[in-house]
Chains A and B, each alone.
Chain A
Amino acid sequence: MLDTQAASGQDGYITPDGRKIGGVAMEMRNITLRFGGVVAIKDISFDIRWGEIRAIIGPNGAGKSSMLNVISGFYHPQEGEVIYKGYRRPKMRPYQVARMGIARTFQNIALFEGMSVLDNIMTGRLHHMQANLFQQALWWGKASREEDENRAQVEKIIDFLEIQHIRKTPVARLPYGLKKRVELARALAAEPSILLLDEPMAGMNVEEKEDMCRFILDVNDEFGTTTVLIEHDMGVVMDLSDRVVVMDYGKKIGDGTPDEVRNDEEVIKAYLGVAHE
């Protein structure tokens, strides 16, 4: 059983399964986000530690996706600040946030439908390619070299996620489950420090869910990628995550290990529901 006191210390903690969790990677401080009169997020603070799988759960409309959008720079909170790698992050455009090593997937798949799987994943490696317009136009020097180096990296991810057979297929032709996997591949291709997953299991069957769980755990294990996860499948959340934030109506109502959250009165009332005898 994990002690929450230890988790809030500076040097991280060891998970029950023996993984070492590092210091604070990102800290949300008193975030408040309003859309006109509607308060989507109200004064929420929590931290994300290096190497952990952090889940955000809550009923529909609780503000989970808004929170992810704040992290990825798509929304700018009216109050509060985001501390990333020890520094207060200034107001940034989403593409600048992406360049700082934050990649994400979307609740409703946001792949580039007109491109092949390979091109989609290669797009994720954008920041690892520096050739300028003229080098690319002449396919000279850096341009062709980078293309091959990055292709090799992308192939590793393709192997890792077991999508070799659909490499050249246009994304529009893929079934839903595979699209979700390609989207994960695209996010991974950026070699992110923090990976944000917005409902990665939504609409999947049991088998696909199991696959996806395995991939998320493997990614965390092999690359040590810090993962922030929104998910409604409680079994998945409780199994995968190291710590869980619970939100309801834009407020934080719980934060802690899966066991702590599961037994929290308020969380049960708001979200998990009471078991009827």
Chain B
Amino acid sequence: MLYREAGDFKTSYVADSQTFPIRFDRYGYYFLLGFAFLVMPLVINDYWANAIVVPFLIYTIAALGLNILIGYCGQLSLGTGAFMAVGAYGCYKLMTAFPELNIIIVIVFAGFITASVGVLFGLPSLRIKGFYLAVATLAAQFFLIWLFTRTAWFYNYSPTGMISAPTREVFGFPVTGPRASAVSMYMICLCFLVVCAWLARNLTRGSLGRQWMAIRDMDIAAEIIGVNPLMAKLTAFAVSSFFIGIAGALLFAVYLGAAEAGEAFGIDKSFLVLFMVIIGGLGSIFGAFAGAFFLIVGPVLLKLLLVNGLGWPTDLAAHLEIMIIGALILVFLILEPHGIAALWRTIKEKLRLWPFPY
């Protein structure tokens, strides 16, 4: 009976169109934010940060970005890995060229660089649709990775061909490089995620978000009621790539510390983020969180359960883990093709009427 909207009347359009219209949701969200900012920094340790929390935060940003492109604008892309690489290499070049520049600004600029590259590779979307567009973005994936591994300028002619992040500080705390602590890594990723999620929510609730969804649902009708398809698709590519670029920059600078394009940002990364978006739920901000949680945290929890809980040997657990995650993905998609977000929505709708559903 806690969860209900009866009696919760809205008296203005502002109140009616807010993000969490139901009071219980709103308090839950404040609680989560408080927990993430105040409690987590106190309890987080290196293992939890490296194995679960930091990759979860970073991939959620990437999933948010891809969700805008696929889930909101309906443009299929398989170039996520390459766009993350653009963010990473952009970040690296800026870090080494301007050592004084604050790392936060560097990462945001890496996002802008990726946005412009995204627009460039989004141009084919004006002519081709669906799977054909996916193939065109696949070309972006291979071309960009090839470019980054073959052009020595991008990795500053380092003999290993790797890029490695020098130490940079925010408020005196090193967030990149070998001296970065778990807490500072966690905090910078969390801040970026919260801001990105807020931006994504704003963009998708307003006029631009509706234009994207109109293009997704019926592009001809969208054009006839006045959506400029060129602008709508290219802004979707730009915004999506911006988020993906930030995720790539964070992944390289904060999480990995050193990276090589082909290895860290290969096609498997594209698919990983794509699966997150599909499993989490297309066209939903919450879906990005849910999908990243499922694919990043799920395997680790499963491993903890099998190895530490049931005492199975590690190699057996590792294989079983892949099989179980694969099976779970199938089960999920059969039960709820629209992803975890849709499942969550159904639960909430049921909960609203509970315990008197008539």
Give, as a whole number of angstroms, the nearest-CB distance from A82 to chain B.
16
Q: Is the CB of B224 within 8 A of A94?
A: yes
Docked CA distance A158–B110 (Å)? 44
In the assembled complex, 5 residue pairs joining A and B whose CB atoms fall closer than 8 Å, in A order, are A112-B214, A115-B214, A133-B203, A147-B13, A190-B225
Docked CA distance A152–B16 (Å)? 12
Q: Is the CB of B202 within 8 A of A137?
A: yes
Q: Is the CB of B208 within 8 A of A133?
A: yes
Q: Is the CB of A131 within 8 A of B206?
A: yes
Does A163 lie at the interface of the complex (its beta carbon under 8 Å from any beta carbon of B)? no
Instruction: Look across to chain B and name the residue whose beta carbon is closest to the beta carbon of A130.
Output: B207
Does A74 lie at the interface of the complex (its beta carbon under 8 Å from any beta carbon of B)? yes
The digit string for B202-223, where 1 denotes a CB below 8 A from any CB of A, is 1101111011011011101111
**What chain B residues lie within 8 Å of A129 (beta carbons)?**
206-207
Instruction: Look across to chain A and name the residue whose beta carbon is closest to the beta carbon of B21.
Output: A168
Instruction: Look across to chain A and name the residue whose beta carbon is closest to the beta carbon of B12.
Output: A148
Q: Is the CB of B225 within 8 A of A186?
A: yes
Q: Is the CB of B199 within 8 A of A126?
A: no
**What chain B residues lie within 8 Å of A103 (beta carbons)?**
225
Q: Is the CB of A113 within 8 A of B217?
A: yes
Size of the B side of the interface (Cβ < 8 Å), in residues, is 31
Does B176 lie at the interface of the complex (its beta carbon under 8 Å from any beta carbon of A)? no
Give, as a whole number of angstroms, the nearest-CB distance from B355 to chain A.
23
**What chain B residues lie within 8 Å of A74 (beta carbons)?**
220, 224
**What chain A residues lie within 8 Å of B202 (beta carbons)?**
136-139, 143
**Which of B13, B14, B221, B225 is packed against the most chain A CB atoms within 10 Å?**
B225
Q: Is the CB of B213 within 8 A of A98?
A: no
Give, as a whole number of angstroms, the nearest-CB distance from A21 to chain B.
27
The digit string for A161-196, where 1 denotes a CB below 8 A from any CB of B, is 000000000000000000000000011001000000
Does B228 lie at the interface of the complex (its beta carbon under 8 Å from any beta carbon of A)? yes
Does A227 lie at the interface of the complex (its beta carbon under 8 Å from any beta carbon of B)? no
Give, as a whole number of angstroms, the nearest-CB distance from B318 to chain A.
39
Docked CA distance A152–B213 (Å)? 22
Docked CA distance A103–B223 (Å)? 11
Does A114 lie at the interface of the complex (its beta carbon under 8 Å from any beta carbon of B)? yes
Does B11 lie at the interface of the complex (its beta carbon under 8 Å from any beta carbon of A)? no
**What chain B residues lie within 8 Å of A151 (beta carbons)?**
13, 17
Docked CA distance A138–B198 (Å)? 8
Q: Is the CB of A148 within 8 A of B223?
A: no
Does B227 lie at the interface of the complex (its beta carbon under 8 Å from any beta carbon of A)? yes
Docked CA distance A7–B283 (Å)? 52
Where the two chains meet, the residues of A that have a C-beta atom closer than 8 Å to any C-beta of B are: 72, 74, 93-95, 98-99, 103-104, 106, 110-115, 119, 122-124, 126-127, 129, 131, 133, 136-139, 143-144, 146-148, 151-152, 155, 186-187, 190
Q: Is the CB of B14 within 8 A of A133?
A: no
Q: Is the CB of A112 within 8 A of B283?
A: no
Q: Is the CB of A147 within 8 A of B206?
A: yes
Q: Is the CB of B206 within 8 A of A143?
A: yes
**What chain A residues lie within 8 Å of B205 (beta carbons)?**
147
**What chain B residues lie within 8 Å of A94 (beta carbons)?**
223-224
Does B229 lie at the interface of the complex (its beta carbon under 8 Å from any beta carbon of A)? yes
Instruction: Look across to chain A and name the residue whose beta carbon is closest to the beta carbon of B231.
Output: A95
Whether A138 contacts B229 in the complex (CB less than 8 A), given A114-B216, A131-B206, comes out as no
Q: Is the CB of B224 within 8 A of A136?
A: no
Partner of A115 from B217, B220, B224, B229 at Cβ < 8 Å: B217
Instruction: Look across to chain A and name the residue whose beta carbon is closest to the beta carbon of B207.
Output: A129
Does B159 lie at the interface of the complex (its beta carbon under 8 Å from any beta carbon of A)? no
Q: Is the CB of B213 within 8 A of A115?
A: yes
Whether A123 contacts B211 in the complex (CB less than 8 A), given A95-B229, A98-B224, A136-B202, comes out as yes
Give, as a whole number of angstroms, the nearest-CB distance from B138 to chain A.
26
Give, as a whole number of angstroms, the nearest-CB distance from A127 to chain B.
6
Instruction: Look across to chain A and name the residue whose beta carbon is closest to the beta carbon of B208.
Output: A136
Does B226 lie at the interface of the complex (its beta carbon under 8 Å from any beta carbon of A)? yes
The digit string for B309-322, where 1 denotes a CB below 8 A from any CB of A, is 00000000000000
Q: Is the CB of B213 within 8 A of A112?
A: yes
